[in-house]
């Protein structure tokens, strides 16, 4: 437990993923309503899917071609400016990628860096593998907690014995607000504290809805 007494919540994200974006906005809402402390970490859809890339649908392969740049910039920002910048950079990237629909372009990344008050030169890391070892380590840390059959986001919360329990999701659209956000969080803690609980799932029938973000 941190010295401030707040419940630590670790969140692994890839800026490219609209579902992680939705969940992250829910978590920011929860942060205003419950005594938690969000700690941001990078994971990578490119790393997650690199060994089965050729088996993926062509449409998703095209999506993943843009996946390396944003996570490389995020990790570079963390390494050069501290982990505390990750949250605001993620917000800036996600707002431009998802809410504004600017696409995963160098221009959007440079704009996001400006929004996050970070140097534009960090965009140069989009095409560099300088911090790929650190990127892979951050990704693997999240995967080691939750297992292989997942995507992004990964969230780790305290379980019944005080040890962290990690899970994929929750996947939700649109992002709950107010008391609905708090209730979902309380339910998340409830299932996380249940020994032997692993999964609740149903097929998604809606696309990401950013209208309330």
Hey, is 69 helix, strand or coil?
A: helix
Q: What is the mean pLDDT of residues 150-158?
A: 86
Query: Does residue 60 carry a pLDDT above 60?
Result: yes
What token pair was written down for 34? Answer: 């419950």
Cα–Cα distance measured from residue 109 to residue 120, given in angstroms and rounded to the nearest whole number: 8
Q: Which is nearest to 157 in space by CA: 20, 8, 41, 50? A: 8
Note the pLDDT tens digit of each residue in 36-56: 999 999 999 999 988 888 888
pTM: 0.90
Phi first, then psi, for residue 117 (nearest 5°) are: 60, 45
Note the pLDDT tens digit of each residue in 78-89: 999 999 999 999
Cα–Cα distance measured from residue 115 to residue 186, given in angstroms and rounded to the nearest whole number: 32
Cα–Cα distance measured from residue 151 to residue 20, given in angstroms and rounded to the nearest whole number: 9
Please answer whether residues 19 and 12 qualify as being in contact, where contact means their C-beta atoms are separated by less than 8 angstroms.
no
Q: How confident is the model at residue 143 (pLDDT cuts 50, 70, 90)?
A: very high
> Which residues contact residue 4 at a Cβ distance below 8 angstroms, ignoring those fewer than 6 apart?
37
Please answer whether residues 182 and 194 qualify as being in contact, where contact means their C-beta atoms are separated by less than 8 angstroms.
no
Q: Kindly report the number of other CB atoms within 10 A of residue 179's CB atom.
A: 9
Please answer whether residues 21 and 112 qualify as being in contact, where contact means their C-beta atoms are separated by less than 8 angstroms.
no
Q: What is the mean pLDDT of residues 19-46?
A: 95
Query: Does residue 201 carry a pLDDT above 80?
Result: no
Show the 3-state SS of 164-213: EEEEECCCCCCCCCHHHHHHHHHHHHHHHCCCCCCCCCCCCCCCCCCCCC
> Which residues contact residue 151 at a Cβ distance below 8 angstroms, ignoring those fewer than 6 apart?
17, 19, 45, 48, 168
Domains of the chain as residue ranges with CATH: 7-192 (3.40.30.10)
């Amino acid at each position: 437990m941190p010295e401030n007494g707040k419940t630590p919540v670790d969140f692994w994200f890839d800026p490219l993923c609209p579902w992680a974006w939705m969940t992250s906005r829910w978590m920011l809402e929860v942060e205003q309503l419950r005594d938690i402390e969000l700690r941001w970490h990078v994971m990578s859809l490119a790393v997650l899917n690199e060994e089965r890339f050729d088996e993926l649908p062509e449409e998703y392969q095209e999506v993943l071609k843009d996946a390396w740049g944003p996570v490389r910039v995020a990790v570079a920002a963390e390494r050069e400016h501290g982990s505390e910048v990750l949250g605001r950079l993620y917000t800036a990237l996600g707002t431009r990628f998802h809410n504004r629909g600017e696409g995963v372009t160098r221009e959007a990344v440079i704009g996001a860096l400006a929004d996050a008050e970070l140097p534009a030169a960090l965009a140069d890391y989009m095409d560099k593998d300088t911090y790929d070892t650190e990127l892979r380590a951050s990704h693997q840390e999240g995967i080691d907690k939750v297992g292989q059959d997942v995507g992004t986001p990964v969230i780790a919360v305290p379980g019944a014995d005080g040890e962290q329990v990690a899970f994929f999701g929750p996947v939700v659209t649109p992002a709950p607000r107010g008391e609905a956000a708090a209730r979902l969080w309380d339910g998340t803690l409830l299932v996380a504290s249940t020994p032997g609980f692993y999964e609740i799932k149903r097929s998604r029938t809606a696309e990401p809805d950013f209208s309330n973000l």
